[in-house]
């Protein structure tokens, strides 16, 4: 998820920093009750309508292009490769099932931004921002058009979003954001406290910025499933429950991949494995896997909906390094995620780490602080997922093995649309085509690597503590300012 102002990850157990009078402090009993019957599963993939999984790879195979990873990056790469050349033999290997990773378990916010927001893009690539903004908008429009033309029922709505300020320094930040959005031609409106409360009712809101263009909401599982269907219809060979475990250069110039029961020999390979342990060692230094946590409530009754307003049904975030993102689902639940993003020492990504009660309890508490009028709501779903954070919040896209392998990882929590941009760029790189995409500084230069362990963990923790401090005081502090100077940070 894109932060509203800056960057973050945090494991702190603080409540929402708010100047809006005395913050409501929900009891532990309320949190216990609200989480008593919660299923540990992503709400999106727990719906009816999941396609049956494609079979595992049982016999060895040769192909032109092998794609590792069946999230948005892998699926778009497969679709775009087939559209460019229908004769190309394309194989996609997914370790679990399509949409298992971030693509099937995210907040469902979709944004045209390729630069993690306008302010960040202006700060690191001011000369290319015009191009990056145009490419981002074209990319988002292409996704919207594709879902329409393919009949993908992904509840895609370009409704923009509202950022809310919970303290005085965030109100000032919203004013700066408003000016920036206006300068880039976005439809944005500053809302004072009363206007904000009239739109969505929370005692914690001091002001809001309603941005109506450039982003929206969708159902990520249905988008993943729809892209899978589109890929299969174009003749892509998809194998699920098929982890690829080994990459080696072959004498005939190809690349060999090992899977549990068979091997794949490919002329070219794409790595689309996001924050999961990368097959290419060098990527371990380019990104941090960060666990992000989410809750979903039961459907709201019409009385509860009336108590809260939110008639525009847009996405919401709060301003700060540690921020929440929240939205309504098509069946009128509230998805509430973010804030408590956790890095585990040594880049660990094992599945048990998805179970972190402290993070889900903190989220529940903050939910009831924000919406005390919804105290009788219960949460039906909780989950966590891996976000691949780079030091500059935008992906690392490049090649290896003499240009026969391409990778795009590190969307830093804002990849539901930019995954398609990553896919397009990888295909240009593999074709050795010089294009507008391959010539971007974002592509030519890689993010500054994170230090290896044992240094990495304490540095992440220290930086987190400084981000928390900034949220509370509104002051950037010496350490964060120093990182800014080197264009380094980390983010959920």
Ligand X SMILES: Cc1cc2nc3c(=O)[nH]c(=O)nc-3n(C[C@H](O)[C@H](O)[C@H](O)COP(=O)(O)OP(=O)(O)OC[C@H]3O[C@@H](n4cnc5c(N)ncnc54)[C@H](O)[C@@H]3O)c2cc1C
Determine phi and psi for 13, rounding to 5 degrees: -110, 30
Choosing from 310, 343, 393, 411, the residue that interacts with ligand X (CB under 6 A) is: 411
Whole-angstrom distance, CA of residue 83 vs CA of residue 237: 14
The two beta strands, 324-328 and 334-338, are antiparallel
Instruction: Single out the residue of 234, 236, 258, 254 nearest to residue 246, CA to CA.
Output: 258
274 binds ligand X (CB under 6 A): yes
Q: How far is the CB of 382 from ligand X (least distance, A)?
A: 11
Q: How far is the CB of 103 from ligand X (least distance, A)?
A: 3
Contact criterion met (CB below 8 Å) for 318 and 4? yes
Judged by CB under 6 A, the chain residues 311 through 350 that form the site for ligand X are 325, 337
Stretch that binds ligand X, among 99-107, 146-154, 167-175, 206-214 (CB under 6 A): 99-107
User: 193 CB contacts (<8 Å, ≥6 apart)?
Assistant: 205, 206, 207
Nearer to ligand X, 96 or 153 (CB): 96
102 binds ligand X (CB under 6 A): yes
Choosing from 386, 427, 443, 468, the residue that interacts with ligand X (CB under 6 A) is: 386
Nearer to ligand X, 18 or 390 (CB): 390
Instruction: Single out the residue of 348, 345, 350 nearest to residue 451, CA to CA.
Output: 345
Stretch that binds ligand X, among 64-72, 124-132, 156-164, 448-456 (CB under 6 A): 64-72
Q: Total number of residues binding ligand X (CB under 6 A)?
A: 43
Report the 10 Å Cβ neighbour count for 267: 18
Q: How far is the CB of 482 from ligand X (least distance, A)?
A: 28
Q: How far is the CB of 20 from ligand X (least distance, A)?
A: 25
Is 404 strand, coil or helix?
Answer: coil
- Two structure tokens written together for 241: 């429950």
214 binds ligand X (CB under 6 A): no
74 binds ligand X (CB under 6 A): yes
Whole-angstrom distance, CA of residue 324 vs CA of residue 314: 14
Choosing from 413, 442, 443, 483, the residue that interacts with ligand X (CB under 6 A) is: 413
Q: What is the DSSP string of 413-463?
A: T--TTHHHHHHHHHHHHHTT---TTTTSHHHHSPPPPPPPTTTHHHHHHHH
Choosing from 5, 95, 227, 295, the residue that interacts with ligand X (CB under 6 A) is: 95
Choosing from 6, 45, 73, 394, the residue that interacts with ligand X (CB under 6 A) is: 73
Give the interface with ligand X as residue ranges (CB under 6 A): 1, 68-74, 93-96, 100-103, 105-111, 243-244, 272-274, 276, 279, 292, 294, 325, 337, 385-387, 411, 413-416, 419
């Amino acid at each position: 998820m894109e932060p509203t102002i800056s960057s973050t990850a945090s494991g702190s157990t603080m409540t929402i920093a708010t100047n809006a009078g005395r913050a409501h402090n929900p009891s532990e009993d309320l949190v216990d009750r609200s989480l008593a019957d919660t299923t540990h599963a992503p709400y999106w993939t727990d719906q009816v309508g999941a396609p049956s999984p494609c079979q595992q790879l049982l016999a060895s195979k040769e192909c032109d292009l092998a794609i590792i990873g069946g999230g948005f990056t892998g699926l778009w790469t497969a679709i775009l490769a087939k559209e460019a050349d229908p004769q190309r033999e394309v194989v996609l290997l997914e370790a679990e099932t399509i949409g298992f990773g971030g693509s099937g378990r995210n907040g469902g916010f979709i944004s045209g931004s390729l630069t993690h927001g306008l302010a960040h893009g202006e700060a690191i690539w001011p000369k290319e921002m015009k191009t990056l903004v145009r490419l981002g908008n074209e990319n988002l429009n292409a996704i919207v058009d594709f879902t329409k033309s393919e009949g993908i029922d992904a509840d895609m709505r370009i409704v923009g979003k509202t950022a809310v300020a919970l303290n005085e320094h965030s109100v000032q930040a919203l004013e700066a954001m408003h000016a920036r959005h206006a300068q880039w031609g976005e439809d944005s409106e500053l809302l004072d406290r009363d206007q904000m409360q009239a739109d969505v009712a929370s005692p914690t809101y001091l002001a809001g910025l309603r941005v109506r263009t450039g982003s929206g909401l969708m159902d990520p599982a249905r988008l993943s499933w729809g892209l899978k269907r589109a890929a299969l219809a174009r003749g892509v060979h998809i194998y699920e429950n098929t982890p690829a475990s080994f990459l080696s250069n072959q004498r005939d110039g190809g690349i060999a991949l090992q899977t549990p029961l068979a091997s794949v020999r490919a002329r070219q390979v794409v790595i689309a494995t996001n924050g999961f342990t990368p097959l290419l060692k060098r990527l371990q230094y380019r990104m941090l896997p960060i666990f992000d946590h989410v809750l979903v409530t039961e459907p709201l009754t019409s009385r509860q909906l009336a108590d809260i307003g939110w008639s525009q049904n847009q996405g919401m975030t709060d301003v700060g390094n540690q921020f929440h993102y929240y939205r309504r689902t098509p069946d009128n639940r509230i998805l509430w995620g973010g804030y408590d993003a956790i890095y585990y020492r040594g880049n660990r990504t094992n599945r048990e780490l998805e179970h972190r009660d402290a993070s889900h309890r903190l989220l529940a508490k903050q939910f009831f602080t924000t919406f005390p009028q919804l105290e009788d709501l219960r949460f039906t779903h909780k989950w966590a997922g891996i976000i691949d954070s780079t030091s500059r919040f935008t992906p690392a896209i490049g090649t290896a093995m003499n240009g026969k392998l391409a990778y795009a990882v590190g969307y830093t929590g804002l990849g539901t649309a930019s995954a398609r941009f990553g896919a397009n760029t990888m295909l240009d790189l593999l074709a050795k085509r010089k294009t507008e995409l391959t010539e971007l500084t974002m592509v030519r230069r890689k993010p500054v690597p994170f230090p290896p362990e044992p240094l990495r963990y304490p540095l992440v923790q220290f930086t987190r503590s400084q981000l928390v401090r900034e949220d509370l005081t509104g002051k950037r502090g010496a350490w964060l300012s120093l990182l800014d100077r080197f264009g380094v940070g980390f983010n959920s």
